[in-house]
Amino acid sequence: MRDYYTLKINIPAGIVSPGALQQVLTAARSANVRQVRFGARQQLLMTVHYEDLRALEKALKQQAVRYEINTDQHPNIISSYCGEDVFRTGAWLRESEYHTVLDQFDEPPRLKVNLSDSNQSFTPFFTGNLNFIASPEPHFWYLYVRPKQSNTVFRWPDLIYTNDLGRLAKAVETALLEGWNAGAPLNEETLYDLVAHRKAFITQPATQEVELPEFSLPYYEGFNRYGQRSWLGIYRRDEQFLVDFLLDVCALCLKTRIGEICVTPWKSLIVKGIEEKDRSLWSYVLGRHNINVRHAANELAWQTEDHTDEGRQLKNAVIRYFGKHDTRTFGLCFGVQTRPKSEVFGSILIRKRPLLKIGQLALFSVYDLYFIENFNPNSRTYFRFEKGLLKAFLPNQIDRLCRKFNNRRSQETGKTVRLEAEPAETPVDADNRVRQCPHCFTVYDPQYGDERNGIPAGVPFEALPADYGCSTCDAPKNEMVEAVLPFVRVD
């Protein structure tokens, strides 16, 4: 008999109410669960001892909470909802649209379903089997289908209306699984004909491919302002969240009338809609549980598998190397795959494989290093950079690949932007000095001031009030460092 079991609770689209999460966590705590994790598909994961499992199951059934134990028969629906209004606002896609779609799924799907805003780069587009992407046409979606155990993605011929998305997803899922179980997976023409003739849907022709944005992962941790409110991103280096901390988060959300907590595909949390008057309460909760929210951006840009610590340990080793060698990783994200059938999201992919295998026993393992076409993690084309690397040599080769990316980006932009050569020993113009936040790299330039914080143009940094903070992440004034803006001329 196993001593411990992994219990999974899907959080559809990564959206959970504080009250619902509080009930689940209270039941988990009663079952002696002290820490939980969030998965790459925005689900809640916890490890439960077999002696406590029956009591926890009973409590979850009383709450009508669906769960799975050591299985993943119903992959979670994931979405870019967690970034809406925070990192960008879609042309027509709003939070209400996501809820309209979710309400159409009476039963959890058996295939992976992704819901994405086409103008964001925070959540993956094509890691699902059914990938719905908002089109420029209001209330219509692209559908890109990726059959099970396949890296081939094909576009559905039609755009699908929002109110029909759930029904079409169910029809496509049924047809795919029937074909798969029969041992004859359907090709795209047969699949389309079968689904289109089975039911009527509101559609219009999809005349072109979706236009995907260039990848740039936003800094998703700490306090950040948007409009008149703030959002808070919470990341944990060990990917573990104390149940007591999360219970305090739920209680504070309920107290301050915040109706939703968002789980991200980066295994972190985002709380939106924090009013200025409540900021001190959130700071108190973070301080009480010793929660740090000042991690480096290159540490936040990693995806590891859900049920193993091996990827996280490798990630930490590479990050230490990055810190030692001051490696630039802006514009990149990294995935670590230690199991053959797992799937991670990254513009640079690390794959472990056995060099020698006897039966199911891997006696010696090495690592292959890949980069994605154009280094955009939403591409499905992989290129091998190095193969058969020992673990000790992996950080150096990843550093080489990062430099390859940076050199390529420099060459692409070199035709339009040229830095003026400066004579030796030329003193720096005082007007070109700025202060920069070391955490999110936001710059305070006296020439422009800080409109968000009510600082007019022309105010020198030294004259800012003592309680001034970074306009993006609220880092205190005394942490901002002096920097010099280069003279840039655009030809």
Whole-number pLDDT of residue 429: 45
- 352 Cβ partners below 8 Å, 6+ apart? 310, 336, 337, 338, 365, 366, 367
Domain ranges of the chain: 88-205, 299-413, 430-490
**Which amino acid is residue 40, in one-letter code?**
A
Q: Are strands 154-155 and 361-372 parallel, antiparallel or unpaired?
A: unpaired
In whole angstroms, give the CA distance from residue 299 to residue 56: 34
Whole-number pLDDT of residue 439: 65
In whole angstroms, give the CA distance from residue 208 to residue 178: 29
pLDDT digits (tens, 9 = 90+) for 287-334: 999 999 989 999 999 999 998 899 999 999 999 999 999 999 999 999
Distance of CA 244 to the CA centre of its chain: 24
CATH 3.30.413 fits 88-205, yes or no: yes
One digit per residue, the tens of pLDDT, for the chain of length 491 reads 469 999 999 999 999 999 999 999 999 999 999 999 999 999 999 999 999 999 999 999 999 999 999 999 999 999 999 999 898 766 799 889 999 999 999 999 999 999 999 999 999 999 999 999 999 999 999 999 998 877 789 999 999 999 999 999 999 999 999 877 666 667 888 899 889 877 789 999 999 999 888 898 999 999 999 888 999 999 999 999 999 999 999 999 999 999 999 999 999 999 999 999 999 999 999 999 999 998 999 999 999 999 889 999 999 999 999 999 999 999 999 999 998 878 899 999 999 998 887 877 777 899 999 999 989 999 878 899 999 999 999 999 999 999 999 988 877 654 433 333 333 333 444 455 688 777 666 778 887 788 777 788 888 888 888 888 877 667 788 888 877 554 333 33
Q: Are residues 352 and 341 in contact, defined by beta-carbon separation less than 8 angstroms?
A: no
Q: Are residues 67 and 8 in contact, defined by beta-carbon separation less than 8 angstroms?
A: yes
Query: CATH classification of 430-490, choosing from 3.90.1150.10, 1.10.10.10, 2.20.28.10, 1.10.1380.10?
Result: 2.20.28.10
Rounded to 5 degrees, φ, ψ at 263 are -100, 135
pLDDT digits (tens, 9 = 90+) for 357-376: 787 777 789 999 999 998 99
Whole-number pLDDT of residue 449: 82
